[in-house]
Structure 1
Amino acid sequence: MVAQQARPGLLVQRVGAELPAKPLTPAGERIMVAASALFYDQGIRAVGVDAIANAAEVTKKTLYDRFGSKDQLIAAYLERRNRRWHGFLDEQLAHREPSTPEEVILALFAALTDWMAESRRGCGFINASVELAAPDHPAMPVIVGQKQWMRSEFAAQAEQAGFADVEELADRLLLLHEGALVSYRVAAMEHAPEVAQRAAADLLAGWPRRS
């Protein structure tokens, strides 16, 4: 994890965002695009390598040559989705122009509304964590790292804002954020992101500051 200089309106904690993605061959890119759509839309376990290879118009041998295994392809899919999430948040913050750390935190919640509008099956990382029960699966570090990053960003912004007990505050904010994702998907609560944002605003308004 690499920390940038704290500046209002920007994400403080960066996870791999500065590192260029491993370049893919044209066939590898087709495999990645096909796998990403199939994994998200149909579920990781429900999609076999035959279906991915057919959708990408490659042979299974090509798929294995490029990614090694289905499990490694799953990890690569989630890594790309994580980069997409970071890029999306950068765009959201640039558009919303928050001027204080508190506004950055609330903008991260507000971004969920637009993100979920294009992600009707909910959070790809949460979905994957349910399907991939083995703790040693190659994709688990990506899933865990993505959630840890969200918490670290909340903590970093809370620290900048001068809140007391930033670790506890970050825990509560993460629970609100992730709870909105689960409620949106499982409970069909379409306004979960907006409800979570209002709850986060109330939490911040009442949270003590460092003396």
Structure 2
Amino acid sequence: MNVLTRPRERIVKSAIELFRQHGIKGVGVDAIAEAAGSNKMTLYRHFGCKDDLVCECLKQVSDEKERIWDNLENSYPGDPARQLRAWVDEAAQHIYSDLRGCDLANAAVELKEAGHPAQKVIMDAKKAHVRHLVELCRSAGIEHYEQLAQALVLLVEGARVCGQSIGVEGPQQQLKQTCEAMIDAFSGHGSNSDRAAVSN
């Protein structure tokens, strides 16, 4: 652990990694403080309770995921169609290489208590991601852009679950090809049978 970073930053970074490895409920504040090279008193000085720390971790994870939109624009400026394909590439590569799934989705499964503050963080982050994807599909000239965006989200989220439940050789390995076929069908580049299947 880099002792030159601030205690708050170390605590959040350590918590994110421990939550990924063991789940949110599987990690206590003592373990987080120890991993951060800190102590429980310091942790509680920055975060009133574990739930506050969980929310901050999820916000930082969400902020990191949101950077993909700027990265896509910087990589393919003025070419939303190419950005959309690159989004598929990014999602597929992440799923192929990391079977732990999505931090936000995993947290949503764990934190089912009514009124848990993390639920709003997760919902807001997921809705924001969908809105970005809808806008990207619209900018790419897709007529039914909202329908395509929702279909792509379903495919990606389902692929993450397959990776966790079935393993590395599961159907998620076909994610990229399936998403590209879906984009082609909505773009009018697919075969007649492809377009009929989508409309049905």
Same fold (TM over 0.5): yes
* 1:183 correspondence with 2:162: yes
Which residue of structure 2 lines up, in the alignment, with residue 68 of structure 1?
A: 48
Measure the CA separation in 2 of the matches of 1:159 and 1:168.
Answer: 10
Deviation at 1:100, TM superposition (A): 3.2
Q: Deviations over 1:43-100 (max 9, x none)?
A: 10000111111222322121111011100100111111112223355446645x3763
Measure the CA separation in 2 of the matches of 1:170 and 1:62.
Answer: 43
Which residue of structure 2 lines up, in the alignment, with residue 106 of structure 1?
A: 85
Measure the CA separation in 2 of the matches of 1:27 and 1:118.
Answer: 30
Which residue of structure 2 lines up, in the alignment, with residue 152 of structure 1?
A: 131
How many equivalent residue pairs? 184
Secondary structure of 1:207's partner?
A: helix
Sequence identity (%): 32
Which residue of structure 2 lines up, in the alignment, with residue 5 of structure 1?
A: none
C-alpha contact (below 8 Å) 2:99/2:160 kept by paired residues: no
Which residue of structure 2 lines up, in the alignment, with residue 9 of structure 1?
A: none
* 1:174 correspondence with 2:174: no
**Match of 2:28, as an amino acid?**
G
> Which moved further from structure 2: 29-38 or 161-170?
161-170
Q: TM-score, normalised by structure 1?
A: 0.76
Secondary structure of 2:38's partner?
A: coil
Residues 28-177 of structure 1: pairs in structure 2 closer than 5 A: 28-88=8-68, 90-91=70-71, 94-95=74-75, 97=76, 100-116=79-95, 119-177=98-156
Q: TM-score, normalised by structure 2?
A: 0.79
Bigger proportion of residues as helix: 2
Structure 2: give runs of 5+ residues left out of the alignment: 189-200
CA distance 1:87–1:166, change in 2 (3 Å): closer
C-alpha contact (below 8 Å) 2:72/2:83 kept by paired residues: no
Q: Find 2:179's aligned residue among 181, 184, 200.
A: 200
Secondary structure of 2:24's partner?
A: coil
Q: Which has the larger radius of gyration?
A: 2
C-alpha contact (below 8 Å) 1:102/1:204 kept by paired residues: no
C-alpha contact (below 8 Å) 1:92/1:111 kept by paired residues: no
Deviation at 1:113, TM superposition (A): 3.8
C-alpha contact (below 8 Å) 2:137/2:145 kept by paired residues: yes
RMSD of Structure 2 on Structure 1 (CA): 2.5
Measure the CA separation in 2 of the matches of 1:197 and 1:117.
Answer: 10
Structure 1: give runs of 5+ residues left out of the alignment: 1-24
Deviation at 1:135, TM superposition (A): 4.3
